[in-house]
């Protein structure tokens, strides 16, 4: 049965309620996954409450919007429910990256696997999902490898790469390209806006503690810790002076990749038409 077979008002209300539940689940994932990865300190108190309220509101908005755009399509209820699940994973990933600058593979690679499985539910979807993964690998892994070879350390975390794979599996080749490049542009704009406003994004305490621990291990002769510090872009940033760090502000890229995912989810047809017009005009 398709979403369009139900009453539009009932479907939107169901999407709203499922979105709120999804936002709550995203908050739970943002609590549980850092604990599983032994990240410390965890977000607690008012900060945790604010985060969970924001996730519930975003979940409600995204859930109702997803059902709304599905009303005019032949999308099955199973497919839309699966997409709501993917939205939960995206929201949780954005929250964790903001709080700890890490993107758990359970969400990124897990989301990619779910997206490929959902692709099998409609004609051509599985092929597009696999092509999207291939394109995501080409545009994220290869540049990251070249950057590491030239600069001697990573320019972006591996989680950003796996989140791009997630986007490619869900949205196909064009979606992978949009998410990576729109996310990159938006993170730069975000940094400039903060700078012009005289604000900064403080390095999370969990990241600072991890860097202190790695430096202590490296000074004690731990080769693994030295290799991690040499390859970690955050280690490079935290070793710089305060002025240099302010001039090269590092924002977590995950939330901006998630924003680009939402843009493509709800405006993908318009983005595809624009891309086609640009290609045909040349």
Q: Is residue 250 part of a domain?
A: no
Asked if the structure places residue 48 within a domain, the reply is yes
Would residue 50 count as lying in a domain?
A: yes
pLDDT, tens only, 77-109: 778 889 999 999 999 999 999 999 999 999 999
78 found inside a domain: yes
- pLDDT, tens digit (0-9, with 9 covering 90-100), for 165-195: 999 999 999 999 999 999 999 999 999 999 9
Residue 279: inside a domain: no
Count up the domains in the chain and report the number: 1
Is residue 247 pLDDT above 60, yes or no?
no
User: Which pairs with CB-CB distance under 8 Å and at least 24 residues apart come from 155-162?
Assistant: 155/233, 156/233, 156/253, 157/101, 157/102, 157/103, 157/233, 157/253, 159/97, 159/102, 159/103, 159/104, 159/105, 159/108, 159/254, 160/103, 160/253, 160/254, 160/257, 162/103, 162/105, 162/108, 162/109, 162/112
> Does 222 fall in a domain?
no
* pLDDT top residue among 78 and 2: 78
Confidence at residue 222, expressed as pLDDT on a 0 to 100 scale? 77
Query: Is residue 265 in some structural domain?
Result: no
pLDDT higher than threshold 50 for residue 245: no
Residue 157 falls in which region: left (phi positive, over 0), alpha (psi -120 to 50) or beta: beta
Domain boundaries, position 76: 1-102
Instruction: Please report whether residue 189 resides in a domain.
Output: no
pLDDT over 60 at 54, yes or no: yes
**Mean pLDDT estimate for the chain:** 84
Lowest mean pLDDT among 10-19, 43-52, 55-64: 10-19
Helices (H), 104-157: 105-119, 125-136, 142-151
- Does the predicted model carry a pTM greater than 0.85? yes
Mean pLDDT of 247-272: 88
pLDDT at 266: 93
pLDDT surpasses 90 at 45: yes
Helix spans in 37-121 (H): 45-70, 77-100, 105-119
Q: What is the mean pLDDT of residues 5-23?
A: 84
Residue 196 has pLDDT above 60, yes or no: yes
């Amino acid at each position: 049965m398709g979403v369009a077979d139900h009453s539009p008002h009932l479907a939107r209300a169901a999407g709203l309620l499922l979105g709120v539940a999804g936002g709550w689940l995203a908050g739970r994932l943002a609590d549980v996954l850092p604990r599983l990865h032994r990240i410390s300190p965890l977000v607690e108190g008012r900060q945790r409450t604010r985060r969970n309220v924001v996730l519930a509101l975003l979940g409600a908005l995204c859930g109702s919007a997803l059902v709304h755009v599905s009303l005019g399509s032949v999308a099955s209820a199973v497919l839309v429910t699966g997409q709501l699940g993917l939205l939960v994973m995206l929201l949780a990933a954005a929250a964790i990256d903001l709080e700890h600058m890490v993107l758990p593979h359970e969400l990124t690679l897990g989301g990619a696997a779910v997206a490929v499985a959902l692709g099998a539910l409609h004609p051509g979807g599985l092929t597009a999902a696999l092509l999207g993964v291939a394109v995501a690998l080409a545009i994220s892994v290869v540049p990251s490898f070249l950057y590491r070879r030239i600069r001697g350390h990573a320019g972006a975390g591996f989680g950003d790469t796996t989140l791009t794979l997630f986007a490619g599996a869900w949205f196909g080749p064009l979606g992978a390209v949009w998410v990576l490049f729109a996310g990159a542009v938006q993170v730069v704009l975000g940094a400039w806006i903060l700078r012009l406003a005289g604000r900064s994004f403080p390095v999370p305490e969990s990241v600072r503690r991890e860097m202190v621990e790695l430096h202590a291990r490296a000074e004690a002769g731990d080769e693994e810790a030295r290799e991690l510090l040499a390859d970690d872009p955050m280690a490079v940033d935290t070793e710089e002076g305060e002025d240099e760090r302010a001039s090269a502000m590092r924002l977590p890229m995950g939330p901006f990749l998630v924003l680009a995912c939402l843009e493509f989810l709800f405006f993908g047809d318009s983005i595809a038409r624009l891309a086609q017009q640009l290609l045909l005009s040349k």
